[in-house]
Amino acid sequence: MADLPTEHLWLPYAQMQKTPTPLRAARTEGTRIFLDDGRPLIDAVSSWWTACHGYNHPHIIDAMERQLHAMPHVMFGGLVHEPAEYLAARLTAMLPGPLAHVFFADSGSVAVEVAMKMAVQVWINRGVRGRTRFLSFRDGYNGDTLAAMSVADPDEGMHALFKGYLPEQVIAPLPRDAETTAEFERLLGEHAGEIAAIVIEPLVQCAGGMKMHAPEVLRAVADAARRNGVLLICDEIAVNFGRTGTLFAHTQAGIAPDILCLGKALTGGAINLAATVATSDVFDVFLSDDPQAALMHGPTYMANPLACAAANASLDLFETEPRLDQVSAIAAQLTRELAPLADLPGVVDIRIKGAIGAVEVNDLHDLDWLKAQFVEAGIWLRPFGKVIYTMPPFTIASEDLSAITGAMADILPRWAARREPKK
């Protein structure tokens, strides 16, 4: 199998002209990805932040196997099924307040699209015209589809490249201090009449560079949304299910979003599934004798039973295994082991929140060399946007976590030395 061609694949976020030959994964187990040459790699990033219980957890595999034989898929139009009903009931019971209605999607980006479509239609259904824009934040990331891209950071989100095609949103700074608060409030006040909703990633802007903010900042955003009469969409796709230390991140600020997006770790990393959860107030705006007032959306594989079964099994594990305790242990260990890296050349910041540890550097040179060094050290880690970070499975053994932080401590100084200008 080793010489199967990869030339027919188009890889994500890759310049295909010069992308190095990707490694080939053969199987996974626990915290490890095994390459087809047998080399095990400790997964420091939980397969894009999904595998919170590690890989191949027997409880999730069993649940999926049972579902696979009963009904791997059935259309959701006109039919429902127990895995979806059970999952929706459990999610809404876990969530605080009136978040009571779950719309399932097959990827996080689509969950965000659905949230944005819902928000715009809330105003249309209420008979309010002109509220078709969104306010979002610098360093934000909410997915790769077009509406999701439009609310991303203008530079990272390639707004210039797609100018004229992407809807133009109002992008504000997070209100962290007097200056940014004034700017945020000014933009919101000026545009409130055109804005359907504010979109925010609670506590950690992950793909935008692991930028963290205090619960007070999130609370200020939520308060401003209320004061200005716009809806609040929390995109928890990256941080949901324990990543920041609580099951859901927004609860740390005690706020109540109108619409909440879930994804990534929803199935414990076994299979794709995402969800858009709305409050009863939002849901009720779609109840009408007018067929046009309904939410016209329905992904073909919506609420796939196999994915719902995996998600239900993942939720079981949050009840039966000490996931949140594991997250606080990881946070403590990251705090201890990453602190010394602050003194390394080129390191400008160390940020830790729950099971997220990020080392920000002043530039990201020799990226392929850097990635190869981590693989050499037996670690799977994907630096981006000036951050070298870990978001490990919550089940990671402390010596494996030490192997990750130890590899960072070993590799970063050698990498910084390569940055010296060569004359």
Ligand X SMILES: *Cc1c(COP(=O)(O)O)cnc(C)c1O
Q: Which residues are catalytic?
A: 13, 141, 235, 264
In angstroms, give the least distance from the CB of 264 to ligand X: 6
Is 142:136 a contact under the CB 8 Å cutoff? yes
Is 133:167 a contact under the CB 8 Å cutoff? yes
Selected binder of ligand X within 54, 83, 108, 346 (CB under 6 A): 108
Is 119:259 a contact under the CB 8 Å cutoff? yes
Of 265 and 313, CB closest to ligand X: 265
Q: Does 304 bind ligand X (CB under 6 A)?
A: no
Selected binder of ligand X within 46, 109, 279, 390 (CB under 6 A): 109
Q: Does 267 bind ligand X (CB under 6 A)?
A: no
Report the alpha-carbon distance of residue 298 to residue 104 in Å, rounded.
9
Phi-psi group of 386: left, alpha or beta (phi > 0 → left; psi -120 to 50 → alpha; rest → beta): left
Range list of β-strands (E), 296-396: 347-353, 356-361, 379-380, 387-390
Tokens of 224: 């401003």
Of 215 and 406, CB closest to ligand X: 215
Give the residue closest to ligand X by C-beta.
108
The three state secondary structure string of 59-113 is: HHHHHHHHHHHHCCCCCCCCCCCHHHHHHHHHHHHHCCCCEEEEEEECCHHHHHH
Selected binder of ligand X within 142, 150, 326, 333 (CB under 6 A): 142
Q: How many C-beta neighbours within 10 Å does residue 26 have?
A: 13
Q: How many C-beta neighbours within 10 Å does residue 178 have?
A: 8
Q: Does 112 bind ligand X (CB under 6 A)?
A: yes
Of 110 and 188, CB closest to ligand X: 110
Q: Which stretch binds ligand X (CB under 6 A): 53-61, 104-112, 215-223, 323-331?
A: 104-112
**Binding pattern for the stretch 58-97 against ligand X, x by CB under 6 A and - elsewhere:** ----------------------------------------
Q: Which stretch binds ligand X (CB under 6 A): 107-115, 154-162, 350-358, 389-397?
A: 107-115
Question: Residue 387 is inside which H or E element, if any?
Answer: strand 387-390
What is the 8-class DSSP label of residue 309? H
Selected binder of ligand X within 83, 143, 245, 269 (CB under 6 A): 143
Report 179-218 residues binding ligand X (CB under 6 A): 201, 206-207
Q: Which stretch binds ligand X (CB under 6 A): 127-135, 136-144, 281-289, 364-372?
A: 136-144
Q: Which stretch binds ligand X (CB under 6 A): 231-239, 279-287, 324-332, 340-348?
A: 231-239
Q: How many C-beta neighbours within 10 Å does residue 22 have?
A: 10
Of 12 and 164, CB closest to ligand X: 12
DSSP β-bridge partners for residue 170: 135
Amino acid at 220: A
Of 107 and 314, CB closest to ligand X: 107
In angstroms, give the least distance from the CB of 106 to ligand X: 8
Q: How many C-beta neighbours within 10 Å does residue 175 have?
A: 24
Of 241 and 415, CB closest to ligand X: 241
Q: Which residues bind ligand X (CB under 6 A)?
A: 107-109, 112, 141-143, 201, 206-207, 235, 237-238, 263-264, 274
